Structure 1
Amino acid sequence: MALLLCQLPMNAHAEDATLQQSKGSLVIIGGALRVDNAVVWQRIVQQAGGKGAKIAVIPAAAGSPERSGGFAVESLNQNGAQAFLIPLSVKHAQFKPEDIVNDAVWLDKLKNASGVYFTGGDQGRIVQALVKPDGSKTAMLEAIWALYQRGGVIAGSSAGAAIMSTTMFYDAKPVLPTLKSGVTDGKEIAAGLGFIGPDVFIDQHLIIRGRFARMLPVMLKKNYKLGLGVDENTAMVVSNQGEVEVIGYKGAILFDLSQAKTDDSQKNFNLSNARISYLDRGDRFNLRSRTLVPSTDKLLHKLNPAQTNNADHRFYPDILANTVVTDLMFHLIDGKQERAIGLAFGMDNPAELGFEFNFSKVAESLGYFSSASGAESYTVHNLRLDIRPVSMNLPIYK
Structure 2
Amino acid sequence: MQTFPQAGSGTVVVIGGALKADSDAVWQRVVDEAGGAGAPIAVFPTAAYEPERIAAQIVAALSRCGAVAEVIPIAPHLTGVDLQARLHDPALIARVAASRAVFFSGGAQEYVVDTLQPGGQPTAMLEAIRSVFAAGGVIAGTSAGAAAMSRVMFRDAMDNIAVLKGLWRPGREYDRGLGFLRDGLLIDQHFLRRGRIGRMLPALHFLGCRLGLGVDENAAVVIQGAQLEVIGGSGAMLVDLGEATHDAALPAFNLRGARLSYLDAGDRHDLDSGVTTPAPHKLQGACIDPAAPGFKPADLPGRYFMDILGDGCMLAAMTQLLEGPEPEVLGLAYRAHPTAREPLPDVGFEFRLHRGPGLVGWRLATPGSQGCTVLGARLDVTPVRVASPLYTPLLAAAGQP
Same fold (TM over 0.5): yes
Q: Tell me, in whole angstroms, the C-alpha distance in 2 between the residues paired with 1:321 and 1:82.
A: 40
Give the aligned partner of residue 399 of structure 2. Answer: none
Give the aligned partner of residue 319 of structure 1. Answer: 308
How far residue 332 of structure 1 moved from its aligned partner, in angstroms, is: 1.1
SS in 2 for 1:314: coil
SS in 1 for 2:103: strand
Give the aligned partner of residue 369 of structure 2. Answer: 375
Q: 1:14 to 1:343 in 2, by over 3 A?
A: farther
Q: Aligned pair 1:68/2:58, yes or no?
A: no
User: Which of 273, 277, 288 pairs up with 2:261?
Assistant: 277
Q: What letter corresponds to residue 128 of structure 1 in structure 2? A: D
User: Which of 392, 396, 401 pairs up with 1:397?
Assistant: 392
Judge conservation of contact 1:14–1:193 (CA < 8 Å) in 2: no
Q: What letter corresponds to residue 209 of structure 1 in structure 2? A: R
Give the aligned partner of residue 247 of structure 2. Answer: 263
How far residue 112 of structure 1 moved from its aligned partner, in angstroms, is: 1.7
How far residue 85 of structure 1 moved from its aligned partner, in angstroms, is: 0.4
CA-based RMSD of the aligned residues comes to 1.5
Give the aligned partner of residue 231 of structure 1. Answer: 216
Out of 296-305 and 47-56, give the one that drifted further: 296-305
Q: Aligned pair 1:345/2:334, yes or no?
A: yes
User: Where in structure 2 are the equivalents of 1:1-398 lying within 5 Å?
Assistant: 13=2, 15=4, 19-133=5-119, 135-240=120-225, 242-300=226-284, 301-305=286-290, 306-346=295-335, 347-348=337-338, 349=342, 350-372=344-366, 374-395=368-389, 396-397=391-392
Q: 1:373 to 1:202 in 2, by over 3 A?
A: farther
Q: Tell me, in whole angstroms, the C-alpha distance in 2 between the residues paired with 1:373 and 1:145.
A: 46
The one-character-per-residue Cα deviations of 1:203-251 (angstroms, maximum 9, x if unpaired) are 00010111122111111111110100001111000013x1111111111
Q: Tell me, in whole angstroms, the C-alpha distance in 2 between the residues paired with 1:32 and 1:90.
A: 22
Q: 1:14 to 1:341 in 2, by over 3 A?
A: farther
Out of 94-103 and 66-75, give the one that drifted further: 94-103
Q: What letter corresponds to residue 239 of structure 2 in structure 1? A: F
How far residue 320 of structure 1 moved from its aligned partner, in angstroms, is: 0.7
Q: What letter corresponds to residue 365 of structure 1 in structure 2? A: L
Q: Percent identity?
A: 39
How far residue 21 of structure 1 moved from its aligned partner, in angstroms, is: 4.1
Q: Tell me, in whole angstroms, the C-alpha distance in 2 between the residues paired with 1:373 and 1:64.
A: 43
Q: Tell me, in whole angstroms, the C-alpha distance in 2 between the residues paired with 1:48 and 1:367.
A: 33
The one-character-per-residue Cα deviations of 1:132-170 (angstroms, maximum 9, x if unpaired) are 33x221111111111001110000000100101011111
Q: Tell me, in whole angstroms, the C-alpha distance in 2 between the residues paired with 1:373 and 1:162.
A: 36
Q: Which entry has the higher C-alpha Rg, 1 or 2?
A: 2
The one-character-per-residue Cα deviations of 1:304-363 (angstroms, maximum 9, x if unpaired) are 321222354322111011101101111110122111101112123344211100000111
SS in 2 for 1:56: strand
Q: What letter corresponds to residue 196 of structure 1 in structure 2? A: L
Count of residues in correspondence between the two structures: 382
Q: Tell me, in whole angstroms, the C-alpha distance in 1 between the residues paired with 2:217 and 2:101.
A: 22
The one-character-per-residue Cα deviations of 1:246-268 (angstroms, maximum 9, x if unpaired) are 11111111100001111111121
Q: 1:14 to 1:218 in 2, by over 3 A?
A: farther
TM-score when normalising by structure 1:
0.93
TM-score when normalising by structure 2:
0.92
Q: Tell me, in whole angstroms, the C-alpha distance in 2 between the residues paired with 1:310 and 1:367.
A: 17
Q: What letter corresponds to residue 39 of structure 1 in structure 2? A: A
Q: Tell me, in whole angstroms, the C-alpha distance in 2 between the residues paired with 1:224 and 1:187.
A: 18
Can you give the 5+ residue segments of structure 1 that lack an aligned partner in the other structure? 1-11
Out of 311-320 and 24-33, give the one that drifted further: 311-320
Judge conservation of contact 1:55–1:81 (CA < 8 Å) in 2: yes
Q: 1:369 to 1:102 in 2, by over 3 A?
A: same
Q: Tell me, in whole angstroms, the C-alpha distance in 1 between the residues paired with 2:3 and 2:328.
A: 39
Q: What letter corresponds to residue 364 of structure 2 in structure 1? A: S
Q: Tell me, in whole angstroms, the C-alpha distance in 1 between the residues paired with 2:392 and 2:296.
A: 43
Q: Tell me, in whole angstroms, the C-alpha distance in 2 between the residues paired with 1:117 and 1:57.
A: 5
SS in 1 for 2:14: strand
How far residue 111 of structure 1 moved from its aligned partner, in angstroms, is: 2.4
How far residue 67 of structure 1 moved from its aligned partner, in angstroms, is: 1.2
Q: What letter corresponds to residue 308 of structure 1 in structure 2? A: P
Q: What letter corresponds to residue 313 of structure 1 in structure 2? A: G
SS in 2 for 1:330: helix
> Which ranges of 4 or more aligned residues in structure 1 deviate by more than 6 Å?
none
Q: 1:14 to 1:211 in 2, by over 3 A?
A: farther
Q: Tell me, in whole angstroms, the C-alpha distance in 2 between the residues paired with 1:171 and 1:304.
A: 39
Give the aligned partner of residue 3 of structure 1. Answer: none
Q: Tell me, in whole angstroms, the C-alpha distance in 2 between the residues paired with 1:23 and 1:63.
A: 31
Q: Tell me, in whole angstroms, the C-alpha distance in 2 between the residues paired with 1:13 and 1:167.
A: 13
Q: What letter corresponds to residue 44 of structure 1 in structure 2? A: V
The one-character-per-residue Cα deviations of 1:22-57 (angstroms, maximum 9, x if unpaired) are 431011001111101011000000110101100000
Q: What letter corresponds to residue 238 of structure 2 in structure 1? A: L
Out of 363-372 and 288-297, give the one that drifted further: 363-372
Q: What letter corresponds to residue 392 of structure 2 in structure 1? A: Y
Judge conservation of contact 1:14–1:166 (CA < 8 Å) in 2: no
Can you give the 5+ residue segments of structure 2 that lack an aligned partner in the other structure? 394-401
Q: 1:310 to 1:367 in 2, by over 3 A?
A: farther
